[in-house]
Amino acid sequence: MNLHSLLQARVAAGRPVRVGLIGAGKFGSMFLSQVPTTPGLEVAVIADLDPERAKAACRQVGWDDARIGRTAFVTTGAEACGRDGVEVIVEATGAPAAGISHARAAIAAGKHIVMVNVEADVLAGALLAEEARAKGVVYSMAYGDQPALTSELVDWARSCGFQVVAAGKGTKYLPHFHGVTPDDVWSHYGLTPEEARAGGMNAQMFNSFLDGTKSAIEMAAIANACDLSVPSDGLLFPPCGVDDLPQILRPKSAGGILEREGMVEVVSSLERDGRPVFRDLRWGVYVVLKAPNDYAKACFKQYGLKTDDSGVYAAMYKPYHLIGLELGISVLSAALRGEPTGQTKSFRGDVAAVAKRQLRAGETLDGEGGYTVWGKLVSAGHSLDIGALPIGLAHKVELIRDVPAGQAVTWSDIVIPDTDAVRVRREMERRAGAVEA
């Protein structure tokens, strides 16, 4: 509650918080737009494969020539991580392998790292967080993105003495979305391909939001940060509005859909027949909590909290998330408090690459949001038991045998690439182990 006061103290001392941003895409640009109106926060260096594009992004979000002129623009994340005077690195590339490399470079340089790149976090976050702790720097989720906001609600509930029954977010979902490819994604967003191109929208990225992959990645991140369990056979995506959260997201033993208490789940903003859910949570996050005693249960009723029909289960939610516009909270929390806004604690959830159709030996996988695979949330224990290929490594790898539609791709199905990202992932599996969900 005092970040602004702490930042004002840094302004008075003439010591602004200096940031290095890697990736000036949509999320990064939204963060950049807030910098001029946050005195004491400065972006010292921006790394992007195309520095001129990054400068154009700065102009588009309102930076003047003077601010652009005193900012360094470089082509590699390694350059940003090695920059003197930078306290916090923001990794916003969205590329899992690059994210792992940049996080390790920042940690080695003694800089705090804010991981917008949740794909990299789910792939190897347990190891990266461990390395950051050993180095005495902060490894943090990105505030404004749904995993960090959900983690905040979980922390609030537990700090108040409540048991967390369920936590997660909302999204637009129908079962057939798992098979959608970039060729037909725009019709589900009410856009033509031409309109999407004019808006600079990436079909594969937006398809990952639709086909369930992004939801699986974000729920794995929440499970790993909050010590929550994952469903045994993937997310259920129940249609559910905010008023029904405590009724639906309670254990089966109490009349709900959960296998047990303490799980992650995503709620759909669409009924299964395509009708919109009343008071949906498409853009928001939630936590379902349980009254620890009759007195707390009575208080739920007295203060108008929506509960299930027993009055025991209740929900709190945040209806929107503003992604990069809120990212400054993570940066300032790391620099001024030495605290993350959510952080991987253990390896509980993973995201397996599942065949969208019959795949043949010799084909090349095209990763998150593509034509070949989608990401399914599984427990870490199950993932390791079957040797599942993580979705974050299912890009530009060749199959050496057929994989039926709906089946998880395994390490034994592919030519395993000799890359740093693969080595880091394998090392995390060996060191972290799996905590059965």
For residue 437, the model assigns a pLDDT of 35
Q: Is the pLDDT assigned to residue 120 strictly greater than 70? A: yes
What is the average pLDDT across 402-409? 98
For residue 431, the model assigns a pLDDT of 77
Regarding whether 26 and 124 lie in a shared domain, the answer is yes
Q: What is the mean pLDDT of the chain?
A: 95
Q: Is the pLDDT assigned to residue 436 strictly greater than 60? A: no
- The answer to whether residue 284 sits within a structural domain is yes
**Could you tell me the pLDDT band of residue 220, with boundaries at 50, 70 and 90?**
very high
118, 129, 237, 289 from 215: Cα distances, Å: 11, 22, 10, 21
What is the average pLDDT across 414-419? 94
Kind of pairing between the strands at 139-141 and 88-91 = unpaired
Regarding whether 289 and 156 lie in a shared domain, the answer is yes
Regarding whether 314 and 165 lie in a shared domain, the answer is yes
Name the 3-class secondary structure at 126: helix
For residue 360, the model assigns a pLDDT of 98
Please report, rounded to a whole number, the percentage of residues in the chain having pLDDT higher than 90. Answer: 94
- The answer to whether residue 344 sits within a structural domain is no
Tokens of 352: 């397996």
Tell me the sheet residues that pair with 364: 398
Q: Is the pLDDT assigned to residue 227 strictly greater than 70? A: yes
135, 225, 392, 428 from 129: Cα distances, Å: 10, 10, 18, 11
Regarding whether 355 and 259 lie in a shared domain, the answer is no
Regarding whether 104 and 50 lie in a shared domain, the answer is yes
pLDDT, tens only, 257-278 = 999 999 999 999 999 999 999 9
Domain closes at, from 211, 232, 257: 211
Please report, for the domain that includes residue 388, its CATH number.
3.90.1210.10
pLDDT, tens only, 332-373 = 999 999 999 999 999 999 999 999 999 999 999 999 999 999
Regarding whether 158 and 291 lie in a shared domain, the answer is yes
- The answer to whether residue 41 sits within a structural domain is yes
Regarding whether 129 and 17 lie in a shared domain, the answer is yes
pLDDT, tens only, 172-217 = 999 999 999 999 999 999 999 988 887 778 899 999 999 999 999 9
Regarding whether 130 and 164 lie in a shared domain, the answer is no
Alpha carbons 24 and 270: distance in angstroms, whole number: 33
Regarding whether 191 and 250 lie in a shared domain, the answer is no
- The answer to whether residue 43 sits within a structural domain is yes
For residue 432, the model assigns a pLDDT of 66
Please report, for the domain that includes residue 24, its CATH number.
3.40.50.720
Regarding whether 109 and 22 lie in a shared domain, the answer is yes
For residue 434, the model assigns a pLDDT of 39
Alpha carbons 159 and 27: distance in angstroms, whole number: 30
Domain count along the chain: 4
- The answer to whether residue 135 sits within a structural domain is yes
Please give the residue range of the domain that contains residue 283: 152-173+216-321
Regarding whether 58 and 139 lie in a shared domain, the answer is yes
Regarding whether 316 and 387 lie in a shared domain, the answer is no
